[in-house]
Structures are given as C-alpha cells and as structure tokens.
Amino acid sequence: MIELVSAQTYHCRRGSVTNAFRYGVDYVLTDMTQAVAPLLSRNSFNLFSLHDHHHGGPRGQGQGVGWFRNELHQRGFPVEQAQLLLLTQPSFLWFHFNPVSFWIALVDGTPRAFIAEVNNTFGHRHCYFCAHSDFRAIARSDQIEAEKLMHVSPFQQVAGRYLFTFDMTDRAFNIRISYEHGDQGVLATLNGLRTPATPGALARVAIRRPLGAVRVVALIYWQALKLWLKGAPFLRKPKPPKPLVSDGKTSRFGS
C-alpha cells in the first residue's frame, strides 16, 4: 500500500533566542514492498522514489523494512500480527534528505510501536524506539520520553529529552515532538491528511512544492541563518551516538 500525506510542519523555539516557522511538506505512507509507477518508484530512479538503502539501518546503508522487523523481534514485539509501514518524504529526482521519518507497527489497525528515524545535515542518524512496555495501543494522549542523544541543530546542546505524541487514524496523522532542556526547548509538529498517491496527486505535489528535498534543506539553512543573526550561540558538532537505536519509555498516558 502507498498513500500521500500532504502535511504542515510547525517549529517553535523557546528560551533566550526564539524562532518559529510553519511550512507545507509532503510525505508518503508505504509498506516498502511495492513499486508504484509512473511518477513514484521503489529502488529505481523517478520523479519521486523510495529506496531501501535510505531507511532502516545506518545512514546510506539501510536494509528497509527488514531492519524494522528485526528491531521489533529483538524487543519481543508480536511481529507476525503486525502491519509495518514507513512515513517518509520521498526522494525528488536524485536528491534525498529526511529530517525525520517514522517506522510504524500497527496491530488491529492501531499503532503499537514506532521508530523515529532522525537525520541531521551533517550525515548522522539516530533512531528512537517508542512503545509502551506491554506494546498496548499508543493513544493520542500518551507521551513517550526519550533522551536526546544526537546533535540535530548547531544551536542546541546534546542534552535534555524528547516527548513524542503520536496520533494516527485512517484519515490523518498528528505527530508532536517536544524537546525540553531546562528553560530551552523546541516544539515540532507534523499534521496531515492521508489520500491515495495517484499520479495526478503526485504531479500536483511537484508543481505546488517543487524540488522536494532540495527545498527542505534550503529551508533548514534559512532558519539556521535567522538564528545566527539573532545571536544564538553556535555549537561544535560532536560525534554521532552509538548504538544506532535507543529506547524511550512511557512518560505520561491517558486512560
């Protein structure tokens, strides 16, 4: 299966230097088993494409959905009952970059676990495994906490925690990531509707938001320039963390 998720992302930085922005972004939701033509393909060149080596494992050496299945197996997740999906921004022509993608495990149509696959512009990747200890359904009121382990922005320390809120229905996504470190922090959200990834819909994406990942990287650097001009301290890049995946824990949950 494959769907298009036309979304809005919002970022708001709090602390001594503030900044906020909102952009439209385009994701696809896929089980990473199908090739879709004529404008979206898997493991081959196209206007839009999905490649196994971009996801699931070390950056540039991904193994696709098999890697996600193995991570679930290692934690005792009932994989044989699950539908495994990837929410990601596809490559545009030859260019690929994803600030964050989400591997999602559904049981009976409800999310039971997900991995936030986070990439920075320095070539690093870290993955945050998020689930309840008993793999019960993740409700929209639940928060899963993970220690921040990777350098994402040169204007933030590798310290503090993320709080993930994950809401997925058969019509939409509503994802919230709150970074907290003392009186500093960032709120990031991703909200979008699920629709069929038809050739016409993909063509409209290319017209509405051309250049795909090139545009994403350009906007990241534009926001970094704004922070630098506002006087945000620029921090040196540390080495990426090891291992590749770390496990979160339930922070708060609803009834």
Rounded to whole angstroms, the Cα distance separating 134 from 54 reads: 30
pLDDT at 186 over 50: yes
Residues 248, 144: contact at Cβ < 8 Å?
yes
CA distance 125 to 103: 14
137 has a pLDDT exceeding 80: yes
pLDDT in tens, 31-61: 998 767 689 999 999 999 999 999 999 999 9
Say whether pLDDT at 254 is over 90: no
Q: Write down the mean pLDDT value for the chain.
A: 94
Cβ atoms of 23 and 61 within 8 Å: the answer is no
If you ran DSSP here, which 8-state letter would residue 95 be given?
Answer: B
Task: State pTM to two decimals.
Answer: 0.96
Q: Output the CA–CA distances (angstroms, integers) from residue 96 to 39, 66, 77, 180, in the order listed.
A: 16, 21, 31, 29
